[in-house]
Amino acid sequence: MSIKMKMMWAVFLLIASLTSVLTLASYQYLAYVIREGLVRQHDAVLDAAAHHLDEDISQLQTLLSRTANRIELQLLNPEGLQRVLGEDESTAALFDGGLEIIDSGGRILAAVPFGTGKVGTRVPPGNFNMTLAQGKPQISAPYRSGTTHTRPMITFSAPILRPNGSVAGILAGHKDLLKEGPLAGFSHLRFGKNDIFFVVGRNRTIIMHPDQRRVMEQLSPGKSPVLDSIIERNHYQPQEEISSDSEHEIITARPLKNAEWLLVSRYSVSELFAPLDQPRWFFAAAFIITMVMARVILTVLVRRIISPLLRLIDHVQNLPSKTGEERVLANGSGDEVESLTRAVNDMVQDMDRKKEALLKSQEVYHIIAEFTSELAIVRNPDASIRYISANCLALTGYTDREFMEKPELLEAVIHPSDADIWRAHCTPPCGNEVDFNLRLLTKQGESRWFSYTCHAVTSPDGAYLGVRGSFRDISHRVMLEQQLCDQREFARNLLESTSTPLFVIDQDHKVIVWNKALSELTGIPSSDVIGTNRHWRAFYLEPQPTLGDFLVELRPEEVGDLEGRFERVAVQRGNLQAERWFNTINGERRRLLANASQVYRDGEVVAVVETLHDITARTQAEQSLRLLAQAVEQTASSILIHDLQGEMTYVNNKFCQVTGYSREETLGKKIVMLKTEPKVFDEICRTTKCGQPWHGELQSRRKDGSLFWERATISPIADDKGAISHYLAVKEDITDAKEVEYLLKQQQAELLLKHEQLSELFVQVEKAKREWEQTMDCVDDMVALVEKDGSIRRCNRAFMQFVNCGYNDLLSRNWRMLLTKTGLDLDGHGEGQFLHQPTQRWLALKTYTWDAEQAKVITLHDLTEVKRVSEQLVTAYQELKATHSQLLQQEKMASIGQLAAGVAHEINNPMGFISSNLSTLEKYLERISSFITLQSAKVMPNATAEVLAELTQARQTLKVDYILQDAPDLVAESMDGANRVRKIVQNLKTFSRVDDAETMYVDLNDCLESTVTIAWNELKYKTTLNRDYGELPPVKCFPHQLNQVFLNILVNAAHAIEVQGEVTITTRCLGETVKVTISDTGCGIPDEIKERIFEPFFTTKEVGKGTGLGLSISYDIVKKHGGSIEVKSTPGKGTTFSVVLPVEGT
């Protein structure tokens, strides 16, 4: 390919690459932006649809709950309930499937539309159990209506509560899923032509779908892996899958907050990304047009640029055929090509000058080469021979003419073994000077060694002109070197072939010999250590001197250092010997005997030879022999050795202990001294003489004459030639065993009898085992015996039915994985209560360790019914607890009332005496005053001056005038105090009214006054009481209970005022009702707890200062009277309680 085409295509490909990258990057970025925008837009639509659907559900549920709150089930008859439903047209319009009021027993009391025949019927049990049990609204699963034309429906249910908070009934609203209205409008939502939105429940039932035929369709598990992932694992992010018609779709879901539903969106990938098709074609067309235009422009430009260069190339190609001025090219283009032309012209002229100088140099070189003993040669760059000296005939047998005519002859005379070296070093250009040895084959077939030296011949400007070399005959020197190498190789082979591991180090501690035996011993090849000082690696983990290293330059003061490193160190002149254990000899622990000897030359140490002997086996054998001797001495068996004549040569300590003889008394004595039975002794002799060991029991006699039994093994001992030289007897004292043997024989018969009994017992155990397994299969609880690793060993029938797997299939499988597969989420817990989602059953899991914690017993107990009963019991307990507390409070108030009535009665009696006596006293004082006045009037005029002065002095001293003036005031004040006590007692009796078992007509103003009197101690210190009583008719009520209501409100008002405030009591008559309002200027009630103040046990007071029952009991009392109690409060300003009561009561 021409340079023109290369340049054009290079630039074209560069432009094409850049354009392709830019086009592709632009398209990818645009596609990414469009995709992200479409996906975000779709997610926003889906979120908005989910939010809208949640709001619809919430509005329907709220509307139904508000309607239920307005129904007082216990006050209305079925006709009244029907009328209430009929009047609420807005609710009936939204619940197009109808409204129903259902009592706690499941009977329909009222229904809209009326006349459907539902009133009086009962709904299936279980439909509204959750609402009845928890008192909370509920949304049912979708179902088919029971009418002739069945339609998919869902039911919203709201509890109808009694005044005490218990559930009296249910208001159910039915919604037709196929009709327009709330919950149905979103089904027409579209993001594309083929995109759909639908709602599916957690139970895989389609609740709403644009295709109404698919409503109530049950989605099969496995049909759509993405839907399975959404429903089972709550993966709500967009996921892609291939539909049944092989089209890629993206499925996204959002969970609803107010129902166990999922809003699912399914849209086509191709349709979603269809807007990308037009940009794709646009970018492709723009790319093609750009490439065509670039190709045309490049062709024109390259043609204009390359023409001067083409003329230069043509001139250079024809240069060898030109001479004189023709060799110079003229070019006036004025660009880089003109500069290149001038450079080429200068180069041609310089080459002509160098060629002329080279010819002159060759003539001088030829003259010099003729007078040297070396063979000189000059080769051209094309490997032809330019010159070869005439002495080539004497050295090779070939003339210079032969070499000149046949240049390949030079390579032919190279010995075949050295041909590769010749080609590697002499391939032009040669570079720096090269010197190497090789062999040449003479014409006579003789092989001769030459030293060849060559270097490149260059011109002054560095141009390569050829190779100049010389061959020098070194055959004699090579012969001498070969002889020396043979001697060295012989010595090396001698050291290598020796079986003794050794190595040699020189004066510099470098290894010069490392034989094969040492490589096998240490596992380190000689190539790793020869020429290095790393021979320590074979013996130590870190650098340390070997024995040979010490001997290289051994000094007397270093001998102590050797003894610290080695054992059994022997130092001689020029020789060291030592032993030690080495832990790293080829990965093993071995004991080596090292000998190091110095090698002298001219009286100086030039090397050290260190030989190594592996004495591990010998050392271990010696140690084993010592241990064996100790073991023989300390063994629990008697050991005896005697020769062929029966003389004892060795006995151990145990022999002496058993027989009572000492070593001195036995060694050298005959074996017959033990007095073994002759029959047994003869048998032993016959057996051992045949070379066989004798085993048996024999009876011998101790030194004290007592007999003892021994179990003996007597073996012959052979010498190196195999002849028997001694006998070894190993005996064990079995006297005690013999005594036990008789007992064992007696017990054997007993064991046989017990064995028969055990066999019968095993039969009974096997029968009991089968009965126990059958019993476990009849138990409803699931029981499994599992191994420590969780694999199942046994299980009962209930467990197999729960996991839906056969007995053989269950064995060795992990029990946790099986239970998790059935839908029981254990979540790593060992024990506890778990909900089985598919069946909604509560199961109690317990584990019991067994077999020393090598196995476990797993039990699963069904707690579903217990849970349901427990929830009912908890609710009943809470109600009973509240009722009990109220009864206690009422009994407490009744007790206080009885006490108050008793106290009032006891106070009335003495107060009657006091009032009566005060009245009498007042009359007495009037009479005494009249008498004194009359006496003074009669006596004073007739008395003497002396008597008159004495009477006047006594009257003044006794303050008679002051007493007569002050006594009426004292009596009046005492009468007023008595009246006040009487009034308090009367109010106390009025407040207590312990005898009010039935309703009665009372004046609520009087009740309030009596209550104020009781609560005055709480009010008087920090409140100003304002009374605004209106004219009230007598009200039929339980006055004692209403007094309790008023007292609770007044006490709470006093407690709400921290420093000083006002309490205002207002009463008004409102037609058939009366209204009592008690307001305070206290701290008020926060909004977040206002709705809870009437709950039992709810209090904001400190522990011990309030029970939380006051307002709860007051609420129940007012409701019992058919009235209502309301509260309005502004935090920081005050609270107002309003009690409205019917005049005629309930």
CA count, 13 A, side-chain hemisphere, 597: 7
Cβ count near 693 (within 10 Å): 13
CA separation for the pair 351, 70 (Å, rounded): 120
342 pLDDT higher than 60: yes
Which of 987, 996, 1004, 994 shows the shortest CA–CA distance to 1141? 1004
In the three-class reduction of DSSP (H, G, I as helix; E, B as strand; rest coil), residue 776 is classed as helix
What CATH number does residue 553 fall under? Answer: 3.30.450.20
- Reported confidence tier of residue 1027, pLDDT bands at 50, 70, 90: very high
Single-letter amino acid, residue 534? R
Residue 1025 forms part of a structural domain: yes
- Reported confidence tier of residue 148, pLDDT bands at 50, 70, 90: very low
* DSSP code string of 257-314: SSSSEEEEEEEEHHHHTGGGHHHHHHHHHHHHHHHHHHHHHHHHHHHHHHHHHHHHHH
Across residues 818-847, what is the average pLDDT? 80
Across residues 278-295, what is the average pLDDT? 77
Residues 1003 and 1146 in one domain: yes
Element (H, E) at 440: strand 434-441
* Sheet containing strand 792-795, strands side by side: 792-795, 782-787, 855-862, 841-850, 832-836
Across residues 398-402, what is the average pLDDT? 86
Tokens of 833: 């209560």
784 pLDDT higher than 60: yes
In this prediction, residue 455 carries a pLDDT of 82
In this prediction, residue 558 carries a pLDDT of 59
Residues 280 and 399 in one domain: no
Instruction: Look at the block and give the residue holding tokens 């427990």.
Output: 870
| Boundary of a domain, candidates 566, 587, 620 | 620
Which of 502, 531, 506 shows the shortest CA–CA distance to 519? 502
Instruction: Look at the block and give the residue holding tokens 């349901």.
Output: 868
Residues 1047 and 1134 in one domain: yes
CA separation for the pair 75, 160 (Å, rounded): 12
- Reported confidence tier of residue 1033, pLDDT bands at 50, 70, 90: very high
Single-letter amino acid, residue 797? R
Instruction: Look at the block and give the residue holding tokens 């977040």.
Output: 1088
Residues 166 and 61 in one domain: no
The greatest distance separating any two alpha carbons of the chain, rounded to the nearest whole angstrom, comes to 209
Residue 955 forms part of a structural domain: no
Distance of CA 198 to the CA centre of its chain: 36
Residues 652 and 663 in one domain: yes
In the three-class reduction of DSSP (H, G, I as helix; E, B as strand; rest coil), residue 601 is classed as strand
CA separation for the pair 1116, 913 (Å, rounded): 43
Identify which of 27-31, 674-678, 995-999 has the greatest average pLDDT: 674-678
> Which residues are paired to 595 by β-bridges?
577, 611
* DSSP code string of 907-971: HHHHHHHHHHHHHHHHHHHHHHHHHHHHHHHHHGGGS-HHHHHHHHHHHHHTTHHHHHHHHHHHH
Tokens of 1134: 């005050």
In this prediction, residue 91 carries a pLDDT of 78
Inter-axis angle of helices 1004-1019 and 960-992, nearest 10: 110
* DSSP code string of 825-891: --TT-SSEEEEETTTTEEEEEEEEEETTTTEEEEEEEE-HHHHHHHHHHHHHHHHHHHHHHHHHHHH
Residues 502 and 539 in one domain: yes
CA separation for the pair 329, 312 (Å, rounded): 8
Residue 1026 forms part of a structural domain: yes
CA separation for the pair 389, 113 (Å, rounded): 134
Phi-psi region of 1108 (alpha: psi -120 to 50; beta: other; left: phi over 0): left
Residues 220 and 141 in one domain: no
Residue 351 forms part of a structural domain: no
Query: Computed from CA positions of residues 475, 478, 482, 483, in that sequence, does the dihedral angle turn out positive or negative?
Result: positive
CA separation for the pair 623, 637 (Å, rounded): 22
- 903-941 residues labelled b (16+ CB within 10 A) or e (exposed): ebeeeeeebeebbeebeeebeebeeebeeeeeeeeeeee
Instruction: Look at the block and give the residue holding tokens 């018969």.
Output: 749
In this prediction, residue 426 carries a pLDDT of 66
Instruction: Look at the block and give the residue holding tokens 């330059």.
Output: 553
Q: Is 735 exposed, middle or buried (0-12, 13-18, 19+ CB in 10 A)?
A: middle
In this prediction, residue 1066 carries a pLDDT of 95
What CATH number does residue 1088 fall under? Answer: 3.30.565.10
- Reported confidence tier of residue 636, pLDDT bands at 50, 70, 90: confident
107 secondary structure, DSSP code: B
Per DSSP bridges, beta strands 694-701 and 648-651 are: unpaired
Residues 670 and 809 in one domain: no
Residue 980 forms part of a structural domain: no
CA count, 13 A, side-chain hemisphere, 1098: 11
User: What percent of the chain has a predicted confidence (pLDDT) above 90?
Assistant: 5
990 pLDDT higher than 60: no
Across residues 1102-1127, what is the average pLDDT? 79
Average per-residue pLDDT in the chain?
A: 79
Q: What is the pLDDT of residues 540-575, one digit of tens each?
A: 888 888 888 887 876 544 555 666 677 777 777 768
811 pLDDT higher than 80: yes
1094 pLDDT higher than 50: yes
Domain with 644, as residue range(s), is 635-731
CA separation for the pair 32, 38 (Å, rounded): 10
Lowest mean pLDDT among 137-151, 219-233, 493-507, 708-722: 137-151
Which of 207, 208, 200 shows the shortest CA–CA distance to 224? 200
Instruction: Look at the block and give the residue holding tokens 């389609």.
Output: 206
Instruction: Look at the block and give the residue holding tokens 């009391």.
Output: 109
In this prediction, residue 1068 carries a pLDDT of 94
95 pLDDT higher than 70: yes
991 pLDDT higher than 60: no
- Given a contact cutoff of 8 angstroms between Cβ atoms, the answer to whether 686 and 709 are in contact is no
CA count, 13 A, side-chain hemisphere, 800: 16
- Given a contact cutoff of 8 angstroms between Cβ atoms, the answer to whether 529 and 537 are in contact is yes
Per DSSP bridges, beta strands 1061-1070 and 1023-1028 are: parallel
Across residues 477-492, what is the average pLDDT? 75
Query: Computed from CA positions of residues 619, 625, 628, 630, in that sequence, does the dihedral angle turn out positive or negative?
Result: negative
* Sheet containing strand 196-201, strands side by side: 206-208, 196-201, 261-268, 248-255, 239-242
User: Could you give the angle at the alpha carbon of 358 between the alpha carbons of 355 and 364, nearest 5°?
Assistant: 155
Residues 94 and 144 in one domain: yes
Identify which of 356-365, 722-731, 909-918, 1028-1037 has the greatest average pLDDT: 1028-1037
Residues 639 and 662 in one domain: yes
CA separation for the pair 467, 385 (Å, rounded): 9
Q: How many domains does the chain have?
A: 8
874 pLDDT higher than 80: no
Cα 822 to Cα 683, 802, 880, 1122: the distances in Å are 78, 8, 40, 55
Residue 880 forms part of a structural domain: no
| Boundary of a domain, candidates 177, 201, 220 | 177
- Reported confidence tier of residue 1067, pLDDT bands at 50, 70, 90: very high
Rg of the chain over Cα atoms, rounded to whole angstroms, equals 64
In this prediction, residue 428 carries a pLDDT of 54
φ/ψ (deg, to 5) at 1039: -60, -40
In the three-class reduction of DSSP (H, G, I as helix; E, B as strand; rest coil), residue 1130 is classed as strand
Tokens of 837: 């989602």
Residue 666 forms part of a structural domain: yes
Which of 526, 530, 527, 568 shows the shortest CA–CA distance to 547? 568
Single-letter amino acid, residue 612? L
Inter-axis angle of helices 1110-1120 and 864-939, nearest 10: 90
| Boundary of a domain, candidates 620, 643, 665 | 620
995 pLDDT higher than 50: no
Residue 1029 forms part of a structural domain: yes
272 pLDDT higher than 80: no
User: What percent of the chain has a predicted confidence (pLDDT) above 70?
Assistant: 85
Residues 1011 and 1139 in one domain: yes
Size of the chain, expressed as the number of residues it contains = 1146
994 pLDDT higher than 50: no
- Given a contact cutoff of 8 angstroms between Cβ atoms, the answer to whether 342 and 332 are in contact is no
> Which residues are paired to 609 by β-bridges?
504, 597
Residues 552 and 649 in one domain: no
Q: Return the higher-pLDDT residue of 605 and 428.
A: 605
Which of 499, 605, 500 shows the shortest CA–CA distance to 548? 605
Across residues 744-773, what is the average pLDDT? 79
Cβ count near 1023 (within 10 Å): 23
Tokens of 4: 């023109």
